[in-house]
Amino acid sequence: MSGHIYPGPEPTPGPGGWPGQMPPAGWQPPVPPALPRKSRAGLWAGIAGGAALLLVLCCTGGVLLVRFANHDPSPGPRPTGGDGVLQIGVDLPFTGANAIVSNDTYNAMQIYLDQLGGVAGSYPVALYKYDDSTAAGWDEQTCRRNADRHVANKAEVAVIGTFNGGCSRTEIPILNKAGMLMVSHANTYPGLTQQWDSGEPDVYYTSGPRNYARVFPTDEGQGDALARVVAIDLKAKACWVVTDNTLYGNGVAAAFKRSANILGIHVYGPDSWLDKGGNYVNPFLDPYALYGADCIVAAGSFDNHGADLMRDKAAFWPNSNIPFLASDGFVAVDDFNRMSGADGAILVTAGLDYGDIVKRSPNAQTLAKAFKTKYGHDLNNLYALYGAQALQLVLAAIQHSDGSRESIRAQLMGGGSSTIPHPKSILGPQVSISARGDVTPQEFEVYHVSGGQLQAAKIVTVT
């Protein structure tokens, strides 16, 4: 998943409408009388239906603005962009393997903002695109440069992103020094908000109060979700846990063991299928490894000799019908799905299947329909929906702030705009951001492998 490196009171509606509520089908935003504006390169004016609508078209990395407000926002210190528009940076990998996902995410966010009239309360708002990647993937130097650009852009008040946890680790301290809010729609790495590796998370927040939040669940929660599946669905009493001996795998295994003990499940291990040098170690050579176990839980990534693990499982336990469960490092890996020993496996992943979100959320349905109308293809991208959820929270924080970076940060980080209730949220249920920056509740998708394919089975909620 993208994050691997390795509740407040409900706000009241403002004059521009509640940012968490999608407009009804066919709704068109009111167009105020046009005011003279200073021209700038890249802008063109179009007149349609007798209403003036100013569009800003851009190429990759530029600005896409839709302006509807003709008055100064509510008083208070705020960034000055020369035109009164508050900018939200969208910091994603727009180059390389994740370009399609990132562009769909950005476009879905823009559609959502357009449907709200391009405003958060009385503040006109625009999205500003930042590419944090090269053809090879996210790039640390580019992420650091982007963070400096976010801070230097006086009109920018918040950042949505990044997609990769490593990039967020680079940017958070720089934005923290400027008191600038950052909300990720994809990071799963726990250390960004809680103790995980040495010095975390305090190392990211040395200059001020916390400024980072996420709407996506954490890797740690995968261990909790796996334990609930074992206890509730399998009704198992004992499990053998193996890990790939990485920070990610060991963390998920530790979380599973903690939750399993609470639920009355005995845990054998954790044992590792990799040594400290990253070499494969056959854990099935221990003849007592599975003694008394009702299931096997693999915490780690299939790329780390997961195929060797599965081959030896089949060789040493050819007639075993013990259920095999794994964390999301095994999800969406075709090589794993096609292995004979994978059939019947149960996999847990952070975040929900796109279809499950759309099925239960009218707001997500409206957004998906508008996306297909505009772009001619299905959205079918769970990160786009989580991106829209991140934007929804940021817009609520802007609406109820004085327009300054610090006020917007405080509104979301444990303040009055940290919760979007059901059914107004993009994801459907109530979404809240804790004071430390994690989303609550956290939701996980459970998949079954059948005939070489993943099939979404159920949602597990961890509070």
Q: How far apart are the C-alpha atoms of 433 and 440, rounded to whole Å? A: 6
pLDDT at 200 > cutoff 50:
yes
pLDDT at residue 24 in the model: 42
Confidence of residue 15 (pLDDT cuts 50, 70, 90): very low
Exposed / middle / buried, residue 221 (Cβ in 10 Å: 0-12, 13-18, 19+): buried
Q: Where is average pLDDT lowest: 56-70, 305-319, 332-346, 377-391?
A: 56-70
Dmax (CA) for the chain in angstroms is 81
pTM value is 0.83
Q: Give the rounded percent of residues in the chain with a pLDDT score beyond 90.
A: 75
pLDDT at residue 6 in the model: 55
Tens digits of residue pLDDT in 119-163: 999 999 999 999 999 999 999 999 999 999 999 999 999 999 999
Task: Give mean pLDDT, residues 81-90.
Answer: 86
Task: Give mean pLDDT, residues 3-10.
Answer: 44
pLDDT at 39 > cutoff 80:
no
Task: Give mean pLDDT, residues 348-363.
Answer: 96
Tens digits of residue pLDDT in 171-195: 999 999 999 999 999 999 999 999 9
Tens digits of residue pLDDT in 53-75: 222 223 333 332 222 222 233 33
pLDDT at residue 433 in the model: 98
Q: What is the mean pLDDT of the chain?
A: 85
Task: Give mean pLDDT, residues 230-235.
Answer: 96
Tens digits of residue pLDDT in 400-413: 999 999 999 999 99
Task: Give mean pLDDT, residues 415-438.
Answer: 96
Q: CB-based contacts of 332: which residues, under 8 Å, 6+ apart? A: 454
User: Any idea of the CA torsion for 35, 40, 43, 47, to the nearest 10 degrees?
Assistant: 30
Helix (H, G, I), strand (E, B) or coil at 37: coil
pLDDT at residue 217 in the model: 97
pLDDT at 27 > cutoff 80:
no
Confidence of residue 40 (pLDDT cuts 50, 70, 90): very low
pLDDT at 303 > cutoff 90:
yes
Q: Give the rounded percent of residues in the chain with a pLDDT score beyond 70.
A: 82
Helix (H, G, I), strand (E, B) or coil at 9: coil
Task: Give mean pLDDT, residues 205-220.
Answer: 97
Q: Are strands 324-326 and 295-299 parallel, antiparallel or unpaired?
A: parallel
Confidence of residue 93 (pLDDT cuts 50, 70, 90): very high
Task: Please give the domain boundaries of the chain with CATH numbers for all domains.
Answer: 43-217+354-429 (3.40.50.2300), 219-350+445-462 (3.40.50.2300)
Confidence of residue 5 (pLDDT cuts 50, 70, 90): low
pLDDT at residue 286 in the model: 83
Confidence of residue 108 (pLDDT cuts 50, 70, 90): very high
Cβ(415)–Cβ(354) under 8 Å?
no
DSSP per residue over 399-440, as a string? HTS-SSHHHHHHHHSSSTTSEE-TTTSSSSS-EEE-TTS-EE
pLDDT at 241 > cutoff 90:
yes
Tens digits of residue pLDDT in 160-173: 999 999 999 999 99
| Number of Cα atoms under 13 Å in the Cβ half of residue 307 | 8
Beta partners for 128? 63, 89
